[in-house]
Amino acid sequence: MLVKQKKSILSELYVLEIFKGLCITMKNMLFAKKVTIQYPEERRKYSERFRGQHYIKATNGVENCTACMLCPTVCPAECIHIEAGERPDKEKYPVKFEIDALRCCFCGMCEEACPKDAIKLSNIYEMSMTRREVWDKDFLLEQRGNK
Amino acid sequence: MSLFQIIFMIGQILILTLILIHNAPIMAWVERRGAALMQNRLGPNRIGPLGLFQSAADGIKFIFKEDQIPGHVSKFYYVLAPLVSLVPSFLTFAVIPYGSQIDLGGGQILKFQIADLNVGILFTLAIASLGVYGIIMSGWASNSKYAMMGSLRSSSQMISYELSMGLSLVGILMVFSSVKLGDIAAAQGQTLLQLGPIALPKWGIFIQPLGFLIFMTSVFAETNRLPFDLPEGESEIVAGYHLEYGSMKFAILQMAEYNNMLTGSGLLATLYFGGWQMLFPLGQIYSHLALSGMTADWVRVAFEIGSFTVKVLFFMWFFVWVRWTLPRFRYDQLMDLGWKVMLPLSLVNLFITAVMISYGVI
């Protein structure tokens, strides 16, 4: 229902009201804290649990991954592609480990599914590229965090 | 006219033209930073000190952009329109005095005003209303419904507010009984009230407070600034009359708008805030210096130009300040305000002024 508000004659004249408004904008301009984050110098503080760029955790220079195929199975975006192989000591390892970041939805299910604590999502959020590259194993083996 | 006077006049014209050309980029920067700061942001602060070179970068971008003419426009008027709105915006500033005069002796007087016309303020009004042709032309020639709507809105708005603008001015003209802006500015040096040590000058705003409010509102409407920027109401009609314009032609339309703002500020300062009359500390400093001869004159004029500049800059800032404070009017509200409030009020103002003059109050 439309209710007509009662206004005083002063506010009907608008001059005083406009002056009040001008005071508010001036107060904001002079004293209010500015919310801008000046990006390359200042950065937004993200949560520790932020899910960013992937990496494969390695111990003593050898990846933890055993190519068990749990992460490509659980991946809802189907962006992980693994080809398994055998090391001379009969241990299974991924010959190919590729993540198509353009398909990835950063849900973190691969991280949850991994029994060997191998695939990880780091805190890095600057992932812009000029080409549609698929991240290969060498790229993913760079240790990008210590989660 | 001696040779020195002619050189002085040409120099004056050149300097003022340069100021008017550089007004638009600087005001664009002021507007962006002002808007950002009022909205708790920082605004463009990367290029140069405080981001001042941002406008230079913008200018370079405007110049190097492809100067495209859309296929569906009426080419001749489309190209002509920015010029038609730019030229009046330069012309109107010619009659505004920004300093008093220097008597060189021997009948030689240097006037700090490009043209001291007999018609004075009427010239400004006449030329300023020519500016609307540029806007109508740009909208009509663009052959686009949004541009057309914008220009139609603009024309009706300008015609409606010119009435109250002219009528509110009549009050000032009656008080100072002159249309020459130089005379009006000089007359505002008198003292209106002496309250102990404080002398209240006979500025237009103290004699005509109502007239000032009406004139200021009308100037906002005439220059198409918020809260009356319906001709370019971007939420309804995209960008209004300059929708089909790009590159330098768009920049010229913007420049015309900012120059109109400068002229409006100059008029507000001259008619209602004492023009080149010195501001509070400067007048006292000048009389303390107790100079004599030629130096006194030049120092006086420098102080006057400084005072005028401060007043004009305040009003330029006021335009920006109001823009980021008040929301846009609805179109019918704008028309209601113009015809039902501003016009009767300016007539009332005229009546009160006439009564006060006939009883010898002012």
Residue of B nearest to A40 (CA): B46
Backbone angles phi, psi at A84, to 5 degrees: -90, 155
The answer to whether residue A72 sits within a structural domain is yes
Asked if B34 has any chain A CB less than 8 Å from its own CB, the reply is: yes
Distance from CA of A14 to the nearest CA of B (A): 11
Note the pLDDT of residue A74: 92
Residue B107 has pLDDT above 80, yes or no: no
Note the pLDDT of residue B240: 77
What would the pLDDT profile of B178-189 be if each residue is shown by its tens digit?
Answer: 888 888 888 887
Q: CB–CB of B326 and A18 under 8 A? A: yes
The answer to whether residue A11 sits within a structural domain is no
Which one is predicted more confidently, B212 or B240? B212
From residue A87, alpha-carbon distances to A25, A113, B22, B262 in Å are 69, 23, 72, 79
The answer to whether residue A32 sits within a structural domain is no
The answer to whether residue A13 sits within a structural domain is no
The answer to whether residue A37 sits within a structural domain is no
**Best residue in B39, B46, B205, B216 to probe A by mutation, most A CBs within 10 Å?**
B39
**CB–CB of B95/B127 below 8 Å?**
no
**Best residue in A25, A34, A37 to probe B by mutation, most B CBs within 10 Å?**
A25
- Reported ipTM exceeds the 0.90 cut: no
Which residue range is the domain that position A92 belongs to?
54-140
Determine the Cα–Cα distance for residues B150 and B238; give it in Å rounded to an integer: 9
Q: Which of residues 18 through 37 in chain A touch B, CB cutoff 8 A? A: 18, 21-22, 24-26, 28-29, 32-36
Determine the Cα–Cα distance for residues B337 and B218; give it in Å rounded to an integer: 10
Average pLDDT, chain B: 84
**CB–CB of B268/B216 below 8 Å?**
yes
Tokens encoding B253? 């339309």
Backbone angles phi, psi at A97, to 5 degrees: -140, 105
Tokens encoding B92? 């109107």
Asked if B322 has any chain A CB less than 8 Å from its own CB, the reply is: yes
Q: CB–CB of B40 and A35 under 8 A? A: yes
Tokens encoding A53? 């760029």
Distance from CA of A39 to the nearest CA of B (A): 12
The answer to whether residue A30 sits within a structural domain is no
Determine the Cα–Cα distance for residues B44 and B28; give it in Å rounded to an integer: 11
What would the pLDDT profile of B51-92 be if each residue is shown by its tens digit?
Answer: 888 888 888 888 888 888 888 888 888 888 888 888 888 888
Cβ contacts of A105 within 8 Å, gap of 6 or more: A76, A77
Across the 147 residues of chain A, what is the mean pLDDT of every consecutive 10-residue run?
76 79 88 86 86 86 86 90 88 88 89 88 85 85 75
Q: Among A20-24, A114-118, B113-117, B320-324, name the one with the lowest average pLDDT.
A: B113-117
Asked if B213 has any chain A CB less than 8 Å from its own CB, the reply is: yes
Residue B228 has pLDDT above 70, yes or no: yes
The answer to whether residue A20 sits within a structural domain is no
